Amino acid sequence: MFGGDMHETAETAPDTYDLLERSREFLAAAYQAPLTLEDAARHACMSPFHFHRLFSRAFGETPHAYLTRLRMERARQLLLGTDLPVTEICLEVGYSSLGTFSRRFHERFGRPPSDYRQRARRYFPGFRSLPARFVPTCFLRAWGTLPETERKIGEAAAGTLVLRSA
């Protein structure tokens, strides 16, 4: 018995969640490759339909949405932290079509990739010197969790902020 029910169902079985988690880890590790729903379902030992339904229920997003989110976050990191051309970033994060990549990036971040990079560099000239997981200094100050080394970096970055009308 599980949770007082007479029968354990696939939706509630702890082993099922472990299989879904294993498949999600596979997607995260192989996000650069061309992946299909069948590939991910195979790692969870399920049919594609059953996998899609359970993955969505367990993680609150479809496998495709999860993969797209991973790819877009990585693309954003590469845009901000490197000088790689947008086309190379597109290929690096698993897209074979620059048009599809640009459209998805624009949908997620509100700007095309090249514009996103250009604006970030204009408004935050020292963004490459910021910690990899940038958290606004005002937020850290409000919560009192700003370590001394991070405080110096954050204050230096805040001092370089220049607002211009677009």
Q: How many CB atoms neighbour CB 139 within 10 A?
A: 11
- How high is the pLDDT of residue 44? 93
pLDDT recorded at residue 161? 37
Contact 132, 73 (CB under 8 A): no
CATH number of the domain located at residue range(s) 65-123 in this protein: 1.10.10.60
**Residue numbers of the chain with a pLDDT score lower than 50:** 1-10, 12, 145-147, 149-166
Looking at residue 164, its pLDDT comes to: 36
Is this structure's pTM higher than 0.75? no
User: Which of 61, 63, 58 is CA-nearest to residue 43?
Assistant: 63
Domain locations along the chain:
14-60, 65-123, 126-166
Q: State the distance between the two ends of the chain, measured CA to CA, in whole angstroms.
A: 62
pLDDT at 122: 84
Q: Which CA distances in Å does 115 have to 34, 118, 141?
A: 26, 5, 30
The token pair that represents 51 in the structure block: 């996998």
In single-letter form, the type of residue at position 114 comes to S
User: What is the spatial distance between Cα 112 and Cα 119, in angstroms, rounded to a whole number?
Assistant: 11
Give the pair of three-digit tokens for residue 78: 């590469």
Reported as a single tens digit per residue, the pLDDT across 56-100 is 999 999 999 999 999 999 999 999 888 999 999 999 999 999 999
What pLDDT sits at residue 150? 44
